[in-house]
Structure 1
Amino acid sequence: MSGIEELDEDRLGALAHKLDRPLVLIGLMGTGKSTIGRRIAGMLGLDFVDADDEIVHASQRSISEIFDEFGEDYFREGERRVIARLMTENKGVIATGGGAFVNDETRALILKQGIAIWLDCDIDTLVERTSRRNTRPLLKQGGPREILTRLKEERSGAYSRAQVHVVTGDLPHHETAMQVLEALEKWL
């Protein structure tokens, strides 16, 4: 990975200075949006917020409970409202849920007021990562590999509208964060 080591303190500072809107990480569950988002925020000296955590805090229910009690449509509407609030409050890094960017209104808001960064990943890695927790409501509806494959096919069209696209692998978190920052620097 040539160039990753070159993103030194001066370049990180210059990159952070150029940002006038939030970085919004999108992609399927398991791509590392929260983990990598925290790294990116730390490297740039910005705030980090996870939209799913904000939804849980605001609703006083887990994501699974919201899905079970009210359904996915209800969850997506609440998610849209939370992301809209975060976009106006935050000039840092926002990690979204996997389905957020598929919603037309949410996607338009993110593209207008933020910089969408699509973290993309192969299915094998996603299956392995998502198997670590059983809190993902969409994966309770069948086999994880089949569900993740279907979701990737269904959502890739929406995700492809992001300003920045980074294919992540099984690299250490720091290297993946540098890979994202390098792609962002090129886009800016």
Structure 2
Amino acid sequence: MAEQRNIFLIGPMGAGKSTIGRHLAQMLHLNFHDSDAEIEKKTGADIAWIFDVEGEEGFRNRESDMIDELSQKHGIVLATGGGAVVRPENRAYLSARGIVVYLKTSVDKQLARTLKDKRRPLLQTEDPREVLEALAETRNLLYDEAADYTIETDEQSAKVVASQIITLLDF
């Protein structure tokens, strides 16, 4: 696993996967990919539009295809979408092809980090806290199950978390 030098970041929206992933890739001289950004690049449409037109199921199909494609690369850091773990095939791709790091965060921190972000379709609701709590209830066990390592991100900067990952993985 480690010889592939792939690091896959999982966790809920607002955990810092993309920001931490960019720092981590830069520090390790690896290529960085964000599965959501790659889906947008490939389709020419943003995630919210895909959700509107194809629904969550259509988006999840695209996400699974993209995670399969990206996880076959070597020497990458991949930030996945928060819901990537809901599909067993995604968890299998990630576990088999690299080291999976769960970036854990609280609902309070998620709310603070995503408050003004209109690009998160699941949070475009009257009560985003309720949505985040429901997602945590169903997904946190999946994150735990898929992860090789777990790191709390609430009270640390992205650079500090990236450094912790490097130390933890002995890269």
> 2:4·2:97 contact (CA, 8 Å) conserved in 1?
no
Deviation beyond 3 Å, 4+ runs, structure 1: none
Pairwise CA RMSD: 1.4
Letter in 2 for 1:175: V
Letter in 2 for 1:37: G
| Residue segments in structure 2 that go unaligned for 5+ positions in a row | none
**1:133 partner SS:** coil
Deviation at 1:172, TM superposition (A): 2.1
Among all aligned residue pairs of Structure 1 and Structure 2, give the percentage whose two residues are the same amino acid: 40
- 1:176 equivalent in alignment to 2:170: no
**Counterpart for residue 144 of structure 1:** 128
User: After superposition, what is the alpha-carbon deviation per residue over 1:84-128, rounded to whole angstroms, capped at 9, x for unaligned?
Assistant: 111112421000000012211111111111211100011111100
For residues 144 and 183 of structure 1, the distance between their equivalents in structure 2, rounded to whole angstroms, comes to: 33
Deviation at 1:30, TM superposition (A): 0.3
The alignment's TM-score, normalised by the length of structure 2, stands at 0.93
- 1:46 equivalent in alignment to 2:30: yes
Letter in 1 for 2:50: I
Equivalent of 1:120 in 72, 83, 104: 104
User: After superposition, what is the alpha-carbon deviation per residue over 1:36-58, rounded to whole angstroms, capped at 9, x for unaligned?
Assistant: 00001111111101111100011
Deviation at 1:179, TM superposition (A): 2.1
> 2:9·2:21 contact (CA, 8 Å) conserved in 1?
yes
How many residue pairs are counted as aligned between the two chains? 169
For residues 143 and 184 of structure 1, the distance between their equivalents in structure 2, rounded to whole angstroms, comes to: 38
